[in-house]
Structures are given as structure tokens and as C-alpha cells.
Amino acid sequence: MREHPLIGQLRAARVVPVVRMKSAAHAATAVRWLHDAGIRIFEITMTIPDAPSLIRELSGDPSLLVGAGTVPDVATAETCLRAGARFLVSPWVDPDLVAPCKAAGAVLMSGATTPTEVRAAHRAGAHVVKVFPASSAGGPAHIKALRSVFPDIVFCPTGGVDPTNLAAYLAAGASFVGMGGKLVDEALVAANDRAAVMAVAEQILATA
């Protein structure tokens, strides 16, 4: 399968912030702060209240690459794509998500942990295999092992990735990573601690 043209942009970014918050207002604030730090790619998860509205708002900025995360089904996928999502992320392999992504020209990232699941995701048509949960599956060593069997697959480990192990994941063969609470901490946003969020973002950008 030919590599999707957006993969290069994701590779260059190295880190995709996974914005997962209980408050839409906090999510919007986190995105704004991370944008100020220089980050231009965001995964907006469906656990955020009215997440498609935030995707629609952010996708109005042509400088941003905005995607939808924790996409559970085709109906949600189509809603997010209409809102402007340019990539979809599912925690599992769902072949039904391939068609709407293809029709919209969007990237599909399907979740997998084992070699059998990785193969199923790739054969179903996923552009990227999201290795989830990465840390509990073995961390960078697990990515290195998968890479030895699947040298041509684009891997994005997510779950437990933080500034201290980012370089190890990339060295192990991750094309890029998804980073959630270690980068987008809702407690810091709720406390209006912009400086702390910016400091982590700048550390990650320097590492990546």
C-alpha cells in the first residue's frame, strides 16, 4: 500500500498530542497553549464533550493538522470527517473505518498490540498502526520487536509515552508517537498553569 501523503507531516512532527479531557473548554485551552509552543498537530478524542465541534473550529486553521481519536464506529468517523478531521484514530482494528477515510482522503490509524493484530490492521487498510497500550505491552523493546517483523509498517506507539522515553521509542522504530496526559495534563490546565504546560511542550519539541 502506498504511503499516504500526510504521513510525512506526521513523521516530521514526531509527536501527536492526544487531547483527552473532561471539559471542552480545557481542551480548547490546552490546544491554544500547545499551539503557542509551536505544535501544529492535534488528536481530539471523542471522550471530550462535543469533540466534533472543537475539531470543526480547529480545522478552520489551515496551518493545523487535526484528527479525531478514540473513534468507535463509522457514524462517529463520518461526523468527524465532515467536521474537518484529516486523520482518525481507533484503539482497535475496525475494517469498517477504512471506506470513510478513503473517501475523505484521511489517514486511518488502527490500534494493535500483537503481531496478529498488526497484520490485521495493515491488511484491513490502515495507514498507521497505533501500538496501544505501548508501555504495558513492553515499551520501546516491544516496538523494536514488531519493527523487526514488520519493517515497512508505520508505527505510532501511544499509552505511557512521556518526555523521558520519547527518544527511546523513536530509536526503537516508531515513526512518531502519541502523547496524552504527560503532555496535555488537565490538572495543569484547570489550574491555569500555562508555564508548566509550555515547559513540557518545549522539552518535547527539543527532544523530537
Backbone angles phi, psi at 207, to 5 degrees: -75, -40
Selection from 162, 146, 159 nearest residue 69 by Cα? 159
How far is residue 153's CA from residue 23's CA, in Å, rounded to a whole number?
35
How far is residue 208's CA from residue 201's CA, in Å, rounded to a whole number?
10
Check 22, 43, 182, 202 and give the catalytic one. 43
In the residue annotation, 202 being an active-site residue is answered as no
Contact 121, 112 (CB under 8 A): yes
- H or E segment to which residue 152 belongs: none
10 Å Cβ neighbour count for 149?
10
Selection from 117, 72, 115 nearest residue 90 by Cα? 72
10 Å Cβ neighbour count for 106?
22
Check 102, 130, 182, 186 and give the catalytic one. 130
How far is residue 33's CA from residue 190's CA, in Å, rounded to a whole number?
13
In the residue annotation, 182 being an active-site residue is answered as no
Q: Return the active site residues.
A: 43, 130
